[in-house]
Amino acid sequence: MLTMKSAYFSSTYGDMFYRKKECDSNTNLVCIHGAGGDSRLFIPLMNEINTMTVYAVDLPAHGRSKINECSLEVYVQAMGQFIQSLQGNVFVLGHSMGGGIIFELVKCAPVKGAVFLATAGTLPVNPVVFELVDKDFDSLCRLAVDLSYGNVDDTMRNTAIEYMKQAGSSILKNDFTICNNYNYEEDAKIFTPPACFIANRKDKMVPLDLTYATFKKMPDAMLQVFPYKGHMLHIEQAKQVARCIEQFVELSL
Tell me the pLDDT tens digit for each residue of 8-62: 999 999 999 999 999 999 999 999 999 999 999 999 999 999 999 999 999 999 9
Hey, where are the domains in the chain?
4-125+183-252
Alpha-helix runs per DSSP H in the chain: 43-48, 72-84, 97-105, 127-135, 137-148, 154-167, 169-181, 185-189, 208-217, 233-236, 238-252
**Can you give the pLDDT at residue 174?**
98
**With a threshold of 0.75, does the pTM exceed it?**
yes
Q: 147-181 pLDDT, tens per residue?
A: 999 998 999 999 999 999 999 999 999 999 999 99
For domain 4-125+183-252, the question of CATH label 3.40.50.300 is answered with no
**Can you give the pLDDT at residue 219?**
85
